[in-house]
Amino acid sequence: MSQGFGFGGSSGFGAPVKAVPAFGATVPVFVSGFGAQKPERAAPSPVLGSSFTPASVSTSSSVSSAVSSSAQSSSQTPQTVTVPQFSLASAMLENEWRKMEWGEEAREKLLESVRSFKPASESVSEARILLIGPVGAGKSSFISSVQSVFSGRVINRAMVGSSSSTSFTKKLRSFNITGSREKADEPMALVLCDVMGVGEGESTGLTLHDALSVIKGHTPEGHQFSPDQPVGVETEGFIRSPRTKDKVHCVVFVVDGSKVGSYAKSFGTTFQHLREHISSLGVHQVALVTHADQVCKATGSDISQVYRSLTLQQTIEKAGALLGMATSYIVPVKNYSSELDVDESTDILLLRAVDHILQYANLYFLDNSD
């Protein structure tokens, strides 16, 4: 069970939080050029979820000067002191709540790990990963972003829509990620599968039946989904006896970190219902929280601060509650969207997510080995 997050103490994960002045505390204010100080009462602490910008504090006092033998008192000119702005929405933890290596060396290590991945099964040459999530969560953007990492430049391989209410992807599309050590255009052992987004009801998006048909390997490549035309034996190209290579080896749930607290309750029910059926097939599941750069100001300016952000930590907790999934299965990412060039820290987050996914895909092969 997740714990509450107090301010000025510690978070639910035990990492200390930078202190915020409590109401009634004193803040030293310099009022003369000689260093004399006068305590001022601090403004009230901010409440959870609010941003606090106190008004300037003015002080006026008479300070005796001892510069000359004929000490004379003089009235000091009022000075304006601005108390720093505090916002719980951008609070940072002293230590990372999940250990992460950054820098070029870490990036190269992750690149090598993903490039050298080989399924723990002789019957398949690649891991098929299915991305499932609400419309606009960033599934297609994640696919393009991963390919961008290995291409060394930002590209949009998976078509991405601009609407958040209608699914741009209507078909089953499988993308072989390219960028092996030998050749830039040679595919690696990783295939990311994109499908129609999940709606608030089965009439507005991917249905449970069709999702399971894809996972079981029955759905042909390029099949166009329609809620009123479920995948079946009459479907053109239907795979009657799918082999291991046709099946999905890991399912990745994708949710928008900037919206995770505002998704309709029906999404939670849909996700958990899906997870029950997927688990019964022996397929492992993980999750991505996208738009990590939009969760708080700190991650927006420096994405390498994701694991020091209290707000992102809480967002991961909310995603876990929505999906009915332990937070250890959930990783944050930032997809490339408006950028023209790749970024080291963004690459590291994306590569760490892929490495995380492949570890669970390999468990499928180990669990189903002869």
Asked whether residue 31 is domain-assigned, the answer is: yes
Asked whether residue 7 is domain-assigned, the answer is: no
**How much is the pLDDT for 63?**
36
With CA atoms as reference, report the closest residue to 212 among 281, 268, 143: 281
Q: For the chain, what is the radius of gyration of the CA atoms? A: 27
Return the residue matching tokens 């078509």: 159
Distance CA 140, CA 252 (A): 12
Mean pLDDT, residues 120-126 taken together: 93
**Same-domain status, 335 and 209:** yes
**Same-domain status, 121 and 57:** no
Q: Which of 90, 114, 133 is the last residue of a domain?
A: 90
Q: Which of 57, 90, 123 is the last residue of a domain?
A: 90
Cα separation values, 29 from 18, 60, 82, 295, 366, Å: 21, 11, 10, 34, 65
**Same-domain status, 150 and 51:** no
Give me the number of domains the chain comprises: 2
**Same-domain status, 53 and 131:** no
- For the ranges 31-45, 90-104, 195-209, 237-251, the maximum mean pLDDT occurs at 237-251
Domain that holds residue 75: 26-90
Distance CA 2, CA 226 (A): 38
**Same-domain status, 81 and 127:** no
Domain of residue 247, CATH code: 3.40.50.300
**How much is the pLDDT for 170?**
87
Asked whether residue 114 is domain-assigned, the answer is: yes
Give the 3-state DSSP-derived string for 260-295, with helices as H, strands as E and coil as C: CCCCCHHHHHHHHHHHHHHHHCCCEEEEEEECHHHC
**Per-residue model confidence as pLDDT tens digits over 301-310:** 999 999 999 9
3-state secondary structure of 44: coil
Distance CA 138, CA 162 (A): 11
**Per-residue model confidence as pLDDT tens digits over 307-364:** 999 999 999 999 999 999 999 999 999 999 989 999 999 999 999 999 999 999 999 9
**Same-domain status, 149 and 284:** yes
What angle, 0 to 180 degrees and rounded to 10, lies between the N-to-C axes of helices 265-280 and 208-216? 30
**Same-domain status, 41 and 137:** no
Contact 87, 328 (CB under 8 A): no
Asked whether residue 82 is domain-assigned, the answer is: yes
**How much is the pLDDT for 171?**
93
Asked whether residue 157 is domain-assigned, the answer is: yes
**Same-domain status, 158 and 39:** no
Asked whether residue 189 is domain-assigned, the answer is: yes
- Using pLDDT thresholds of 50, 70 and 90, give the confidence band for residue 369: confident
Asked whether residue 19 is domain-assigned, the answer is: no
List, in sequence order, every residue forming a beta bridge with 198; answer none if it has no partner: 134
**How much is the pLDDT for 161?**
54
**Same-domain status, 128 and 241:** yes
3-state secondary structure of 174: strand
Task: Return the sign of the alpha-carbon dihedral for residues 308, 311, 314, 320.
Answer: negative
**Same-domain status, 60 and 163:** no
**Same-domain status, 83 and 195:** no
Contact 251, 132 (CB under 8 A): yes
Mean pLDDT, residues 40-44 taken together: 41
Reported pTM: 0.74
Asked whether residue 3 is domain-assigned, the answer is: no
Amino acid (1-letter code) at residue 4: G
**How much is the pLDDT for 62?**
40
**Same-domain status, 125 and 174:** yes
Mean pLDDT, residues 271-276 taken together: 95
Mean pLDDT, residues 75-98 taken together: 60
